[in-house]
Chains A and B, each alone.
Chain A
Amino acid sequence: MIKSIFLCSVMLLVFSANTMAHAIRFEVEKHYPAVTVHAYFTKTSPLVDAYVEVFSPGNEEAFQKGHTDKHGFFTFRPDENGNWKVSVDDGMGHFDRVTVEVSDKFFMNEESIKAEEPAKAEETKIVSDDKPEEVKQAEIPLIYRIIFGLSLIFGLTGIIYGIKAKQLLKNK
């Protein structure tokens, strides 16, 4: 019995190493005249054909709607500066949004292109700009995070068990 539980646990852990976390992550690339959003669970698991809505600054009505491509990319062309909101929904309950800050600097490239100057494009790559901590955590291998989570659960179980046992001993 103990052997089978141990074997099952090991198999679960090994199998889980190939699974992926389910938080949506974003990479936003701003390069005049377009903003490209890359939505994915992990680098090898993009949000394919997810429904995307783009909201211009201060507007509740969508500026643009569409779907991500098979690599999880979606591109739009902002026409004003401010905070643009991009929401991504895979229809399976995985929904999140990212705020894309479009500054004056982004449109300054328009002038340079018009003047046929060499492109001084503002090429900015931000990763989940409103969630920098997540990105840091994403660097921790999944297996370590699983072990950490299981340790917390078993640790908590042990603490509650200890408290209950103490109460029982006191009552005796």
Chain B
Amino acid sequence: MHIADGIIDARIAIAANAVAVAAIYVSGRKTTIEEIPKMGITGAALFVASLIHIPFAGTSVHPGIYGLVGIILGKRAFPVIFTVVLFQSMIFQHGGLLSVGINSINMGAGAFAAWLIWRQQALPEYLRAVFAGFIGIIIPVLLMATEFQLSGYGRGILYLFSIYILAAVVEGVVTLSVVKFFRRIKSDILT
């Protein structure tokens, strides 16, 4: 789910990096010392989770856990996602250095949307968890597919959507089980 360098117009990629830096400032300011270890651990989990890939329909999908990151970190998710995407780009060549901004925005938007859903206290918790996990994947996929479409690449939004919808459902179920696990052992970790 990482856009490589050269796909998106360089000017847009640079602008996205500037937006990402601004978003880091907005979402990361006034971070308390208590939040930092949680951000570090979640970042490490995200870093490793994105490396697992599951063969599917002749290609592969990989878990994103952006929904879970949104649930655990809330608005602090963006600086963590940016850092992880930057390290993945440097160490594994996932995406490219110039595309770190656009990739972070895509994934950060998923985490942010998941957090917004998670905050809807009126809904039952299990529903919020499943939907947050689902949307945490679907939003980045839709953004990425749109960017591919606008750049004239890829097989279209519908194709990507149809492939990832199953992964998003699985992600929703995984998110629910992790949320239930945290509720049992350390409830205050959830935002």
Chain A positions near chain B (C-beta within 8 angstroms): 1, 4, 12-13, 15-16, 19-24, 41, 45, 47-51, 87, 89-97, 131, 134, 137, 142, 145-146, 148-150, 152-154, 156-158, 160-161, 164-165, 168
Contact = CB atoms under 8 A, between A and B. Distances in A.
A21 B92 contact: yes
Contacts of B144: 93
Contacts of A20: 51, 53
A165 B34 CA distance: 10
B59 A146 contact: no
A133 to B, nearest CB: 9
B19 interface: no
Nearest to A87: B153
A41 B2 CA distance: 14
Contacts of B163: 91-92
A23 B99 CA distance: 13
23 contacts: A12-B45, A12-B48, A19-B52, A20-B51, A21-B92, A22-B53, A23-B93, A47-B59, A89-B154, A90-B59, A92-B160, A93-B2, A93-B145, A131-B93, A137-B93, A149-B87, A149-B88, A153-B83, A154-B44, A157-B37, A157-B39, A161-B36, A161-B37
B51 A16 contact: yes
Contact of B155 (A16, A24, A51, A161): A51
A91 B164 CA distance: 10
B148 A95 contact: yes
B170 interface: no
Interface residues of B, number: 47
Contacts of B59: 47-50, 90-92, 94
B122 interface: no
Interface stretch (B3-11, B66-74, B125-133): B3-11
A153 B87 contact: yes
A85 B136 CA distance: 34
A1 B185 contact: yes
A95 B156 CA distance: 13
Given A150-B47, A152-B87, A156-B40, A95 B4 contact: yes
B143 to A, nearest CB: 10
B123 interface: no
Contacts of A89: 153-155
Contacts of B108: none
Given A16-B52, A93-B160, A22 B154 contact: no
B185 A150 contact: no
Nearest to B154: A89
A20 B185 CA distance: 32
A19 B53 contact: yes
Contacts of B75: none
Nearest to B84: A153
A23 B2 CA distance: 9
Contacts of A154: 40, 44
Nearest to A15: B52
